[in-house]
Amino acid sequence: MVADQNFHRVKKFFLLIFFLLFSTNGYSQNYSFKKITKLEEPWGSSFISDEELIVTEKTGKIKIVNIISEEVYEVKHNLNYFVHGQGGLLDIIYQNSYLWISYSENRGNLKTSTSIAKAKLNKKILDFENIFQAEPPIESGYHFGSRLAIKDNYLYASAGERGGGMIAQDPTKHPGSIIRIHTDGSIPKDNPKFEGKLDWLPEIYQIGVRNPQGLTLSPYDEKIYLSNHGAKGGDWFGEAKKGENYGWKILGWGGTNYSGTKIGPKWKPGFTKAIQYWVPSIAASAITIYKGNEFKEWNGHALITSLKDKSLRKIIFNNISNISEEVIFKNKIGRIRDIQVHPKNGKIYFLAGDKLWLMEKNN
């Protein structure tokens, strides 16, 4: 009897170890990481070829990284940027021989704006031209956003509220909104201003966001999705919806002010409802809707990166009434700032800490 009890205890122990090691609860080790190169405060990235990523460093440099040879070289540029607090060079996106970049632009007298510039790709020097400036410029080092996404000939961008709170409810000002312009900087004639919201600035697509650092086009449903920092709690993942309002700072999305005081309800009718909320905050950053062969079981699922708990989270959201979330990993590569999926093989590249990392399946 004693021998049988001991046997079952040992069996349960090894079953537990097996479960922890090989279950799909997010900590299974069917993948591995490889450090590609070291960088300085990397922020945004985009594939410009099957072998090259172009990367922004918040401190002001733009670099091209060959992911095969691991060679890195700097590309000169003419951006009038200002590194202040959370500001500097931010996101970058490549398409059809052109680059678009978001950055904190020096507007004089310590004032900055979340601005967007465009340039023809040149691997020696980039001659950028501004196509958007968030108005008004503000003296603040907080909450610039800012991610970029392209759908057809539309450029979407997230503009943080610069710590201004209720400015996100003022559609006569850009901070705290999702921007939609054409890729040449011109304004779409079907933006909300031209469809009844006469007091909205012409570039504004949606209002009421705080500090949205994730923005992506889904290759499955062709919708734009975003992630947003709450205050003390209240991070969320949701869809960009024309003419709607996510509610900041009327809504707190489940979070509170850093002082501990209440902000407002998590959600109430009349405002856009997010797909997923996080309380306490995970400091949601870049996102993507995965499509590839390397992790094909993830196809169509949202991958959310985190700064605070240094995690990658997978959200299955095809049925909004039954959202499923899985933590893939935590605390393995540092604070994750950006995520890119290789366009051919589906391997995943992260800007995390001060490095570019490759994530791939173990053979």
Q: How high is the pLDDT of residue 142?
A: 96
Q: What is the mean pLDDT of residues 304-327?
A: 96
Asked, for residue 312, whether it belongs to a domain, the answer is: yes
Asked, for residue 9, whether it belongs to a domain, the answer is: no
Distance between CA 214 and CA 275 in Å, rounded?
14
Phi, psi of 6 (to 5 degrees): -65, -40
Asked, for residue 22, whether it belongs to a domain, the answer is: no
Tokens 């905050």, residue?
281
Quick one: pLDDT band at residue 363, thresholds 50, 70, 90? confident
Asked, for residue 15, whether it belongs to a domain, the answer is: no
Quick one: pLDDT band at residue 56, thresholds 50, 70, 90? very high
pLDDT digits 0-9 by tens, 286-305: 999 999 999 999 999 999 99
**Gap between the terminal Cα atoms of the chain:** 43
- pLDDT at 312 > cutoff 70: yes
Q: Which two tokens stand for residue 16?
A: 């537990």
- pLDDT at 267 > cutoff 50: yes
* DSSP single-letter state for residue 136: S
Rounded to whole angstroms, the maximal C-alpha distance in the chain is: 82
Question: What whole-number percentage of the chain has pLDDT above 90?
Answer: 91
Q: How high is the pLDDT of residue 12?
A: 52
CATH of the domain at 175: 2.120.10.30
Burial bucket for residue 10 (CB in 10 Å: 0-12, 13-18, 19+): exposed
Q: Which residues on adjacent β-strands are paired with residue 231?
A: 233
Strands (DSSP E) contained in 162-230 are 177-182, 204-207, 211-217, 224-229
338 sits in which H/E element:
strand 336-341
What is the overall mean pLDDT for the chain? Answer: 93
Asked, for residue 288, whether it belongs to a domain, the answer is: yes
Q: How high is the pLDDT of residue 173?
A: 98
pLDDT digits 0-9 by tens, 319-341: 988 999 999 999 999 999 999 99
Quick one: pLDDT band at residue 15, thresholds 50, 70, 90? very low
Q: What is the mean pLDDT of residues 69-98?
A: 97
User: Domain of 161?
Assistant: 32-361
Q: Which residues on adjacent β-strands are paired with residue 306?
A: 284
Q: What is the mean pLDDT of residues 118-124?
A: 97
Q: How high is the pLDDT of residue 24?
A: 40
154 near 182, Cβ under 8 Å?
yes
- Closest by CA to 122, choosing from 98, 155, 90, is 98
Q: What is the mean pLDDT of residues 193-211?
A: 97
16 sits in which H/E element:
helix 2-22
- pLDDT at 27 > cutoff 60: no
pLDDT digits 0-9 by tens, 146-195: 999 999 999 999 999 999 999 999 999 999 999 999 999 999 999 999 99
Cis peptide before 273 (omega within 30 of 0): no
Asked, for residue 175, whether it belongs to a domain, the answer is: yes
Q: How high is the pLDDT of residue 4?
A: 53
Q: How high is the pLDDT of residue 266?
A: 96
- pLDDT at 18 > cutoff 80: no
Distance between CA 177 and CA 209 in Å, rounded?
6
- pLDDT at 3 > cutoff 60: no
- Count up the domains in the chain and report the number: 1
Asked, for residue 222, whether it belongs to a domain, the answer is: yes
Q: What is the mean pLDDT of residues 14-41?
A: 67
Distance between CA 58 and CA 89 in Å, rounded?
4
- pLDDT at 25 > cutoff 90: no
Asked, for residue 27, whether it belongs to a domain, the answer is: no
Distance between CA 267 and CA 272 in Å, rounded?
8
pLDDT digits 0-9 by tens, 206-249: 999 999 999 999 999 999 999 999 999 999 999 999 999 999 99
User: Rounded to 10 degrees, what is the CA torsion of 63, 301, 147, 199?
Assistant: 160
